[in-house]
Amino acid sequence: MKSRFIQNGYFLLLTFVTGLFYFCFYLVALIFSFTLSFTVVGIPLVIRVLQTTTPFIKYERIQTKIYTDISTDSYNRGVTTDTSDWAQVKFVLTNRRTWSAVFWLMQKFVIGIFSLISAIIFYVMPLMFLLAPLLYRYIDMNILFMQVNTFAKSLLVMVMGIVSTALSIKIVDGLAKKIGGYTHSMIRQLNR
């Protein structure tokens, strides 16, 4: 149970990191490649950027399986290479699934921010409560309109930390499953 709690914490932080990466990558890469589309370099760059959706979605699928044990259908929407270059360009640029995949991956940024805030609330805050008897002398602590300035009050805060840790274990497990369900929904929608 304890290792599952830590694993869920890793998953929440990884969700933030990957969500931030996808958002920045697609925002910068697509704006840059579309601004260069009047040159010879722009359109192939757009195609290469859009072709990254398949490996990123496969990574999301593996990450979700490892951290949350949620199985999803496989996703294999690569572009066939036996067609002409212009047919591939037209297929990638006009394919609704490709643009939907970009949208789903960029949307993970919002989920990532929520995951980071949740990690702070459910991991850092209970830890600070648990360490209150050691920290109250060095840090000005105010918890629920109570200034923690005595050892007795710090023990009360520590008990609150034990309770909040027990609650956090349950809440974080459900939260990780919900975020894993996002990946499951994403792949199910894109496989339609």
146 SS3 class: strand
Please report the pLDDT score of residue 14 as a whole number. 95
Please report the pLDDT score of residue 83 as a whole number. 64
Please report the pLDDT score of residue 41 as a whole number. 80
Please report the pLDDT score of residue 85 as a whole number. 66
* C-alpha–C-alpha distance, residues 160 and 35, integer Å: 55
User: What pTM does this model have?
Assistant: 0.85
Which residue range forms the structural domain that includes residue 158? 2-190
Taking a C-beta distance cutoff of 8 angstroms, is the pair 15, 117 a contact? no
- At position 55, the amino acid (one-letter code) is P
- The count of domains in the chain is 1
Say how many Å lie between the first and final Cα of the chain, rounded. Answer: 36
Q: What tens digit of pLDDT does each residue of 14-42 get? A: 999 999 999 999 999 999 988 887 887 88
Please report the pLDDT score of residue 68 as a whole number. 87
Query: Going by C-beta distance under 8 Å and a sequence separation of 6 or more, which residues neighbour residue 27?
Result: 106
